[in-house]
Structure 1
Amino acid sequence: MKTILIAIVSLALWATPAYTQGALTVNVTGFKNEKGQCTIWLFNSADGFPSNHKKALRYVEAPINGLSSLVVFNQLPTGHYALAVVYDQNGNHQLNYNLFHIPKEAYGISNDACGGLDGPPTFEQDVDSDCSSDQLGSVAG
């Protein structure tokens, strides 16, 4: 079984006269070593979720330090968000699969959403946070 990635997601919000923005802090832990990088895709809609990073609102590749990786997404408008996390061990910027299309690298999805035989979880199953108040969530894969 692949390593389970766990992230604590915290939201810190502040208001401006024109609109509300927030910051989303993602701390991913559970790496076995510091080889490779942590890739986090932040989605605000179902389009492309969870595997098309080109359709993500934000896409970040972060180093692994001390078996964890910390990323802050700043200036997020109020809304609903879902995360997809990949432990990119070989640095090729994608989730690698075996012949049976089973992931060879560890991955995680926010809100502990799980797919099934019919495919990955939907955006609606995975939506982790409403950026209108402080909340906590998790990512596990």
Structure 2
Amino acid sequence: MKNAFLTFALALTTLFGFSQEEKGIIITVTIDNVKNDTGKVLMSLHSSETFMKGKGIQNAETKIKDGKVVITFKDVAPGEYAIMALHDENENQRMDFRENGMPLESYGMSNNVMSFGPPQYDDAKFKVEDKDLEMIIRF
């Protein structure tokens, strides 16, 4: 009987320990200046290895309501990241360009970096440490 009780107590303690497992950081991103409600906003969380090379570590999309979107990235591990956002008006899942190479659709980056030429990771990067983050990206 004593062994059964100890086994039960050990199992309960182990189960409780797993339920208290620490979750990653939550990053909540708001864009409140989308020029219209047509299409969707695509957003991706990138490391230096994925930035401007395709899909991010986490990717999300949402419909636009009254020129505003909110997207949340969950369970983000501590580290260094950058966020890229695109107003995909025609919903073709990519950025469209004019003949001269200029973007046709609005876009933005973490740190609200707007430079001439392609975005740079070092300008858009930010650190995720031990607290949830909220940020605003401007188009």
Give matches, 1:1-141, under 5 Å: 21-43=24-46, 45-50=47-52, 52-54=53-55, 56-116=56-116, 119-141=117-139
Q: How many residues align?
A: 121
Is contact 2:29-2:135 (8 Å) kept?
Answer: no
C-alpha spacing 1:86/1:21, structure 2 compared with 1 (3 Å) = same
Give me the CA root mean square deviation: 2.2
Gaps of 5+ in 2: 1-18
Q: Could you tell me whether the CA contact under 8 Å between 2:26 and 2:133 is conserved in 1?
A: no
Give, in whole Å, the separation in 2 of the partners of 1:20 and 1:28: 25
Structure 1 counterpart SS, 2:122: helix
TM-score (norm 2): 0.75
The alpha-carbon distance between structure 1 residues 72 and 122, as it changes in their structure 2 partners (threshold 3 A), is same
Identity of aligned residues (%): 23
Scaled by the length of structure 1, the TM-score of the pair is 0.74
Structure 2 Cα separation of the partners of residues 30 and 125 of structure 1? 21
Q: Secondary structure at the match of 1:124?
A: helix
Gaps of 5+ in 1: 1-15
8 A Cα contact 2:28 2:135, kept in partner? no
Name whichever structure is richer in helix by fraction: 2
> Per-residue displacement from partner, 1:24-51 (whole Å, max 9, x unpaired)?
11111112321100000111x222313x
